[in-house]
Structure 1
Amino acid sequence: MGNLVEIEVKDRIGHIRLNRPYKLNALSRELVEEVIQSLNSLSRDEEIMVIILSGEGKAFCAGGDIAAMKNLNDAYEVAKWIDFVSDLSKKMIDIDKYVIAAVHGYAAGAGFSIALAADFIVADENAKFALSFSNIGLIPDLGLIKLLSERISPQIAKEWISSGKVISAEEAYSNGIINRVSKGSVVEEAVRFAEFIVQGPSVSNKYVKYLVNHVGELHKETAFMQENMIQAMLLQTYDHKEGVDAFFEKRTPQFAGK
C-alpha cells in the first residue's frame, strides 16, 4: 500500500497528497495521523509559503472510513474517534500558512469538511461536493456546519444539509464556496492560484488568516484593537519597508517573511 500521504516541496509550495486511492482516500486513523504530521512539518518550514492538499486516484476524499467506524463499540469510542478526526480540520484552520484544497472527483461527507477547512478551494470542473449525512440519519461533523454556514445563508445551508445535496463545482463557485474552477489539472490550477501567496508577504498573510478566521468571535471594539495592534507591529517589519521602497522605485517587492 505504501505511504498513505505523499509530500513534495517545489517552488516554495508544500504539496500533501492523500494516497489511499483504493479507498477513495477515505479517512482512516493512520491517514489522518499522517496528514496532521505533514501539516505540522510543512508549517514549520520557513521556506514554504503555502500548502496544497490534494488526493490521488479518482477522488479528493470520500469521507470517513466506514469500515473503521464499524469497529467502534460504544458511544465513548465513537466520540473519541470523531474528536480525533476533527483535529484534522482544526489543524488546517489553525496553522499559520494558507492551505489550498485541490479537489477532483468527490469531496464527500468528511471530505467536504476538510475541503471547507482549507483557506481556499480550487476544484476540477467535474468535482462534486456531497452532503450525504442525512441519507444515513446523521449530521455533518469535522466543523462542516460552521464552515459552510460562514459561506452561505442559513436557509440554504439547512436545505443542502437536510436534503443530502450533491453540489457541482459550478454551483459551489456561484455560491462563493470555491475560488477557482479548473478545466485541466486541478493541482496545476492550484499552483497558479497560489502565485499571489508565494510572492506575497508571509508575515501579514499569517495575520490575515488569523483575523478573518476569528473575526466572527470578536466584539467590534476588540476587532478594531486587534487590527490596530497587529498593524502597528507590521509597520516595523522588513517586508513593509521593502513594499514601500518597491512602490516608490516602481518595481516588484521582494518580500523576505520578516
Structure 2
Amino acid sequence: MTTEGALLLADEVDGVLTLTLNRPDQFNALSEELLGELQSRLDAAARDDALRCVVLAAAGRAFCAGHDLKQMRANPDERYYRQLFAQCGRVMQSIVNLPVPVIAKVQGTATAAGCQLVASCDLAVASESAKFAVSGINVGLFCSTPAVALTRNVPAKKAFEMLITGQFISAAEAVDNGLVNHAVAPDQLDAALDALVQTICSKSPLAVRTGKAMYHRQRGMNLSDAYDYAGQVMAQNMMAEDVCEGIDAFMQKRHPVWKGR
C-alpha cells in the first residue's frame, strides 16, 4: 500500500491490484495529478505478466465527482482544456486496453468523468446506494468525453437522456441499462466484489487475457470481419497448453491446473 496522504492508493495481493482514488474531501475529483497517478499505475500494470485483475475503488462517500472544476476554472485556456481532456482520454483508453479485466467497485456517487470511469471499466459492482449521472449539462457543459464511454455501455436513448438532462439514475437503473453488472446492499459490496474477482482468477490467465483483447477489438468491426478475426483468435487459443489441460480436466472430472500458456 502506498503512503498515507497519496492521491492514489495501490495494493496488490495474489495478482489482484486494487487502485483506490484517495481524495475523499474533494469527492475523488480527477485532478491533473490524480490522472497522472492513474496513468502511471495503469502503465505499470500493463507490463505485469503476473497480474490477474485490477479493482478500481474509492475512499470516502463518493466514488468520483468527475473533473476537478476548481482546477479547471483556475486555468481558463482552451489549450489547457484540450490537454486535460486528452490526458483523461488516455487514462480511460488505458483501462480498456489493459490486458486484464478492470472492475469498478462503486460505493458512492459517480458523476460526469466519474461515471465515464465506471463505464470505461470492463465490469462494475455497485452499492445499492450509489447514483450515477453525466451532469455537466447542469453547469452549461455537455459531457462530450464521458459520452464516448457511456454510449458504449448504455442504450442510445437512455444515454442521451442522461447526457441532455444531467439527471441521476439509481444503481438498480444502472444495472438495467448495462452500466453496472451488479447492485448489492452496501454491507455486501466487498463480498460481491470478492466473488467476482475470485471467479475471474479461477480461470486460465491466458484465456482471460486473450478474451479481453478479442472482445474489445471485435466490437469495432463489422459482422463478417468480427467472425473472421474471432475464428483466428479461437484457433490460436486452441493451441495453448491451458486449453489442453482444461479439456482433459473436464473429461476427467477434476479441477484444471493452469499454466498460463
Structure 2 counterparts to residues 191-210 of structure 1, below 5 A: 191-210=194-213
- Residue ranges of structure 1 left out of the alignment (5+ in a row): none
Secondary structure of 2:208's counterpart equals helix
Distance in 2 of aligned mates of 1:25 and 1:187: 20
Q: Are 1:44 and 2:47 matched, yes or no?
A: yes
Alignment of 1:1-258 (within 5 A): 2-142=5-145, 144-183=146-185, 184-258=187-261
| 1:146-194 Cα deviation digits (max 9, x unpaired) | 3322333222221121111201101111222211112125344212111
What is the identity, as a one-letter code, of the residue corresponding to 2:91?
A: L
TM-score by length of structure 1 reads 0.94
Give the SS at the match of 1:217: coil
1:225-256 deviation digits (Å, cap 9, x = unpaired): 21111112111111101101101110121222
What is the alpha-carbon distance in structure 2 between the residues aligned to residue 217 and residue 45 of structure 1? 26
- Aligned equivalents of 1:42 and 1:249: distance in 2? 36
Q: Which residue identity does 1:111 align to in structure 2?
A: G
Q: Aligned equivalents of 1:124 and 1:256: distance in 2?
A: 35
* Contact 2:45-2:98 at 8 Å conserved across structures: no
1:77-105 Cα distance to aligned partner (Å, 9 max, x none) = 21111111221111101111100000011
Deviation at 1:2, TM superposition (A): 1.8
Q: Are 1:113 and 1:141, in contact at CA under 8 Å, matched by a contact in 2?
A: no
**Deviations along 1:13-43, whole A, 9 cap, x unmatched?**
1111111111111011111111111122223
Q: Give me the CA root mean square deviation.
A: 1.6
| Secondary structure at 1:73 match in 2 | coil
Using the TM superposition, name which of 88-97 and 201-210 deviates more: 201-210
Q: CA deviation at 1:140?
A: 1.6
**Secondary structure in structure 2 of the residue aligned to 1:100:** strand
How far apart are the structure 2 equivalents of 1:233 and 1:214?
Answer: 16
SS in 2 for 1:150: coil
SS in 2 for 1:9: strand
1:105, 1:83 → 2: CA distance? 26
Name the SS of the counterpart of 1:122 in structure 2.
Answer: strand
Q: Answer yes or no: is the 8 Å Cα contact 1:13–1:50 preserved in 2.
A: yes
* Distance (whole Å) between structure 2 residues aligned to residue 7 and residue 181 of structure 1: 24
Once the two structures are TM-superposed, the CA of residue 45 in structure 1 deviates from its matched residue by 2.2
The one-letter amino acid of 1:248's match is M
Distance 2:38 2:155 in 1: 31
Q: Would you say how many aligned residue pairs link Structure 1 and Structure 2?
A: 257
Once residues 171 and 155 of structure 2 are traced to their aligned partners in structure 1, the CA distance between those partners, rounded to angstroms, is 18
